Amino acid sequence: MVQAEIAEDRLNFAATAALTIDGTGDTASMPSSNIFGVNGIDSAGCGSTTTGPALPGIGVTDNPDVTTITAAIPNNRKNNYTGSGGSTPDVQNISSSLPPNLQTVTSLQNLTSTIKSMVTQPVVTGPASNLSNAGTAASPQIIYVNGDLTLSGNVTGYGILVVTGTFTASGNVGWNGLVLVVGQGNFTGNGGGNNSYNGAVLVAKTLDSMGHPLTNLGAPTFNFSGGGGNGMNYSSGCVAQATTLSTFHIMAFREMLN
C-alpha cells in the first residue's frame, strides 16, 4: 500500500491599502465620476461582519508619488478618497510598513509564483478576453493570467486574480478578494458600471516589455476613466477569504509494508 504525504498551501499576504501602487515614477489618471472612490476604511464584507483598523486609501512607496497620485485626482473628487490618514484625498507613503514580500522584484515574483502553484483552474494564457470561471461567493477561485486580460460587461469575481500583463476592465467589472497586477504593472479601467473592487488591489511593475525581470521595481501605471461607480474598497473579510483559500500538494509517497 502506498501512502501520500500531503501539505496544505495558504498565501502569506497582508493588505497595505485599498489600492497599493508599488514602485517609483507612478503614472496615474483618476476618473471624474462623482461616485467613484477609493476607501481604506474596512467594510468587512465577504460574509464577515467584523471590521478591523483602517488602511490608507491609496498607498505608494515614495513622497514624489504621493504628489503624483494626489495631482491625478480631480479637485472636485478628492473627498472620494478616504482612509486611515483622516484627511482627503488619502494618499500615503507606505514604504516603512510595506511587508518584505512586496518590497522587491524578487519578492513579488516569488509571491506570484506561489500563487501560480496554488491555482484552482488551469493557468490562463493571455491575451485573454474572458475568464471561464471567475468564482462565486460560495466558491472563490485562485486565477493566474500569464499575459494581458481584458474583461468587459457584467463580471464579478471572487478570490485571487493575478495578471502579469495589462489588466483592462470596462463596464460593470468588479472583484471580491485580491487583484494583483504584477508583471507589466498596468491597470486600465473604463467605468460606466456600478460594480466595485472589494478587498485589496496591488499594481507593481516587475517585468520589462520582453517579460524579463527588472533589476528594481519599475514605474507602474494606473489609469481609470469613465463615469461609473467602480470604486475600490478595503475589505478585511474579502482579503481573509482570499488568503485562506487552501490548495494541497503531494510532498512524498511512502510504501506501507504489512
State residue 12's pLDDT score: 87
Mean pLDDT of 104-128: 97
Among 163, 115, 158, 119, CA closest to 140: 158
Q: Residue 137 sits in which domain range?
A: 2-255
SS3 percent helix, strand, coil of the chain, rounded to 5, is 15, 40, 45
Q: Is residue 234 scored above 70 in pLDDT?
A: yes
Q: DSSP letters along 114-141, please? A: HHHHT-SSPPEESSBS--S----SSS-E
* Residues near 56 by beta carbon (within 8 Å), at least 6 away in sequence: 16, 17, 18, 40, 83, 84, 85, 90, 91, 92, 94
Q: Is residue 194 scored above 90 in pLDDT?
A: no
State residue 227's pLDDT score: 67
Rg (CA), the chain: 18
Q: Residue 249: which pLDDT band, with cuts at 50, 70 and 90? A: very low
Q: Is residue 5 scored above 60 in pLDDT?
A: no
State residue 132's pLDDT score: 95
Query: Across all residues in the chain, what is the average pLDDT?
Result: 91
The answer to whether 191 and 227 are in contact (CB under 8 A) is: yes
The answer to whether 194 and 171 are in contact (CB under 8 A) is: no
Mean pLDDT of 202-224: 97
State residue 124's pLDDT score: 98
The helix/strand/coil state of 46 is coil
Q: DSSP letters along 4-63, please? A: EEEEEE--------SEEEESSS-EEE----SS--EE-S---BTTB--------SEEESSH
Question: What predicted TM-score, i.e. pTM, was given to this entire model?
Answer: 0.91
Total count of domains within the chain: 1
- pLDDT, tens digit, for every residue of 59-88? 999 999 999 999 999 999 999 999 999 999
Task: Give the number of other CB atoms < 10 A from CB of residue 226.
Answer: 17
State residue 9's pLDDT score: 56
Mean pLDDT of 172-197: 92
Which sign does the torsion angle of CA 102, 106, 111, 116 carry? positive
Count of all residues that appear for the chain in the document: 258
The answer to whether 167 and 149 are in contact (CB under 8 A) is: yes
